[in-house]
């Protein structure tokens, strides 16, 4: 018998029926066997991205969430109804003024710095500024 054919038989013995050894992989290691006739390497399934409200794409650079972030949050948390911040001039005592006052009271009470160690404002500071607190 030929030496290479014996080595091939030994190598094939380390995998299940219907599988072949992967060249360059050590015996009995992870991914050391693959299906016979299968592609050498399948594309890995795309990992699900985190929701937009947790990523930069869902956050407004000037504080709070943008429209994409609000919609993403509402999909993840059914029953929630996020609205855009009250940023314009409002009538004193009106609905928007009360909403702003409530938000400012809650956010100002949150613990945490207003500046990052590098001197940039935190998301909390940006939100308070956006809401004109």
Return d(Cα 126, Cα 6) in angstroms, integer.
Answer: 70
The pLDDT assigned to 69 comes to 92
Whether 55 contacts 37, CB under 8 Å:
no
The proportion of the chain whose per-residue pLDDT surpasses 70, expressed as a percent, equals: 82
Answer yes or no: do 93 and 120 share one domain.
yes
For residue 108, pLDDT over 70 is answered with yes
The pLDDT assigned to 19 comes to 84
Give the range of the structural domain holding residue 71, as residue numbers without chain letter.
Answer: 50-84
Q: Is the residue at 45 inside a domain?
A: no
Number of domains present in the structure of the chain: 3
Q: Chain-wide mean pLDDT for the chain?
A: 83
Reported as a single tens digit per residue, the pLDDT across 26-75 is 777 887 888 887 655 444 445 567 888 888 888 888 888 899 999 999 99
Nearest alpha carbon to residue 12 among 31, 29, 30, 36: 36
Answer yes or no: do 75 and 94 share one domain.
no
Answer yes or no: do 7 and 23 share one domain.
yes
The pLDDT assigned to 45 comes to 47
Q: Between these two residues, 109 and 5, which has the higher pLDDT value?
A: 109
């Amino acid at each position: 018998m030929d030496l290479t054919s014996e080595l091939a038989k030994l190598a094939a013995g380390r995998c299940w029926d219907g599988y072949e050894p992967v060249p360059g992989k050590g015996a009995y290691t992870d991914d050391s066997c693959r299906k016979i006739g299968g592609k050498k390497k399948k594309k890995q399934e795309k990992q699900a991205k985190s929701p937009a409200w947790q990523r930069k794409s869902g956050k407004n650079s000037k504080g709070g969430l943008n429209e994409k972030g609000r919609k993403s949050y509402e999909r993840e948390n059914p029953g929630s109804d996020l609205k855009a911040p009250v940023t314009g001039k409002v009538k004193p005592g009106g609905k928007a003024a009360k909403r702003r006052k409530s938000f400012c009271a809650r956010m100002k009470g949150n613990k945490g710095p207003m500046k990052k160690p590098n001197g940039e404002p935190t998301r909390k500071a940006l939100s308070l500024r956006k809401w004109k607190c």
